[in-house]
Amino acid sequence: AQKVTQAQTEISVVEKEDVTLDCVYETRDTTYYLFWYKQPPSGELVFLIRRNSFDEQNEISGRYSWNFQKSTSSFNFTITASQVVDSAVYFCALSEAGGGGADGLTFGKGTHLIIQP
Amino acid sequence: DTGVSQNPRHKITKRGQNVTFRCDPISEHNRLYWYRQTLGQGPEFLTYFQNEAQLEKSRLLSDRFSAERPKGSFSTLEIQRTEQGDSAMYLCASTGREASYNEQFFGPGTRLTVL
């Protein structure tokens, strides 16, 4: 069975600090997709990134970067120079067999990130 | 296009009543998903449609839960004989046919409170 673990329940940092959110996953499939979503206080989930299991290249998008390591089954998310607007709950999710398929996404429990001014 | 919409946004009901929620996906998205999110947890997958066909429903929480997508456009999720444990946020997501189809776009959710 697939599983996503986000061990950090809550992280609090001061604005401009860098912060890394951890995600560890379990799956028996060789083809799978990993996602990060942001859920701000307004509640609507916002897609951040998708990574497939065959692409281990790290990705950078502005202040956001993602580190995918198949050897450790991890897909960590780093925010550089954090801002108050980054405060939200961040979810890591896993999809087997091509994009949700019949199983939908399996989410972790989320990490509540608090950026203090 | 304004994204996935869900109605109502909030629903308060008494235990034992039936409730129905509606989801309108992004136009031309053929896949539609329902999730439930309880406080402090990640969304939990419930069911999934491709066009009008419900391809996965074994994850619905009980036989009190049912979903339809009769014309392959909007979908409804019904909970019969609600219980206090059904109180949660119910989320809908959709995705399309393109190569990036597995990016699911979520609606704002319907928050259900069962008294």
**Is B102 a residue whose pLDDT tops 70?**
no
- Could you tell me the pLDDT band of residue A53, with boundaries at 50, 70 and 90? confident
- Could you tell me the pLDDT band of residue B30, with boundaries at 50, 70 and 90? confident
A44 vs B109: CA distance, rounded Å = 7
pLDDT computed for residue B99 by the predictor? 45
Cis preceding linkage at A40, omega within 30? no
Pick the more confident residue, A36 or A98.
A36
Mutate to test the interface with B, among A23, A39, A54, A105 (most CBs of B within 10 A): A105
pLDDT-above-70 percentage for chain A: 94
Q: List B residues 16-75 in contact with A (Cβ-Cβ < 8 A).
A: 31, 33, 35, 40-46, 48, 55-56, 59
pLDDT computed for residue A50 by the predictor? 87
pLDDT computed for residue B64 by the predictor? 95
pLDDT computed for residue B96 by the predictor? 77
Region class of B58: left (phi > 0), else alpha (psi between -120 and 50), else beta: alpha
Do the Cβ atoms of A113 and A41 come closer than 8 Å? no
pLDDT computed for residue B56 by the predictor? 78
Mean pLDDT is lowest, of A24-38, A43-57, A66-80, A91-105, for A91-105
Contact assignment for A47 to B101 by CB distance below 8 Å: no
Pick the more confident residue, A50 or A20.
A20
Mean pLDDT is lowest, of A10-14, A50-54, A106-110, for A50-54
Closest CA–CA distance from residue A4 to any residue of chain B (Å): 10
Mean local confidence (pLDDT), B25-47: 92
Task: Please write the tens of the pLDDT for every residue from A73-107.
Answer: 999 999 999 999 999 999 999 988 654 455 689 99
C-alpha B52 chain-centroid distance:
14
